[in-house]
Structure 1
Amino acid sequence: MEPSNPNLLEGYDLHHFIDDAHTPPPPTITVTSVASLNPAYTTWKCQDRLIFSALLGAISVSLQPLIARTTTSLDAWQTLANTYAKPSRGHIKQLKEQLKRCTKGSKSISEYMQEIKTRVDELALLGKPVDDEDLIDRVLEGLSDEYKSVIDVINALDTSISFAEFHEKLLNKEASL
């Protein structure tokens, strides 16, 4: 399977870790009837764990359980690809609808933002990214009247605000409530 953006792994000559056409070296080698640990396998295992950790860190916290039980970076990659790489129109529409219905309610700002960010990340994985300005608008739509002052300030800006700055403003407002 080809990754959608293999540049980093190819740049480090590590793309074969997520390509099922390549197999890892055997864990042991036998020389003159004596089995011993294969140094090539040890190196492979270390690199595979690093790639697995990078994959784990690159996905939303809510998606991490999908790959928690996988044992190699290839297993993790294939699990994610099988789950998200074949977008169906219905799945995309479902995610967009979930995104529309997200409201802060009784959740903390961090929980609310994470819920929205998870849906947005899933849409991006399916080839339907949401730009930051639309993301911020979506978050604003789900806030209650107690955030009206922040909503008014953000809506009055002539230039866009980064998602991180926006998150910080909401956290500050939450702390003052």
Structure 2
Amino acid sequence: MEDDSPTPSDAELLLAVAGGDRRAFEELYRRYAVWLSLRLRGRCADPALVDDVVQETFLAIYRGSARYREEGDFAAWLWRIGSRRLIDALRRDRAGSRLWQALVRLRDREEPSAEEQVLVGVEHGDLAGSLARLSPELRAVLQATVIDGLTTREASILLGIPPGTVKTRAMRARKQLRQELA
């Protein structure tokens, strides 16, 4: 027998979760856990850490410590929570840790992440070509600060470079894009 009831929106599910509805929470988890895990694995090569971060992210939602204000896309809000929790986890165990080394190895890999492919594949006028012509260092800073919405400090930790370098690279990337798109 088919269920003809309409599929609840993410906001409706969150409202139900706030009221203690476990099934609503399970539905949100089913909708987004794999997606969040895949995106975080593009940022960290330690699958155990990624799994922990995904669990922490959804636990914050379940406990109500993460609040969605129905402003913007739910997935973007979820990504912001997950990416910041990943940065916190990396920060806790940074110096000489296997987690930090895993992130550095992943950052230096040959194959581009899904986000990098999307960034290069943006089709809006000449933007795709201009982004592709940016150096990998400049593109990584744009990805972290613009697409992922990270602060300069968070991008610094994620990319393993000083905050001043993040600012300088972001400025250089914007300048280069402006010149090419003018």
| TM-score of the superposed pair, with normalisation by structure 1 | 0.24
Could you say which structure has the larger radius of gyration?
1
- Which one scores higher on RCO, CA 8 angstroms, separation ≥ 6? 2
| Higher fraction of helix | 2
Q: Of Structure 1 and Structure 2, which has the larger fraction of its residues in strand?
A: 1
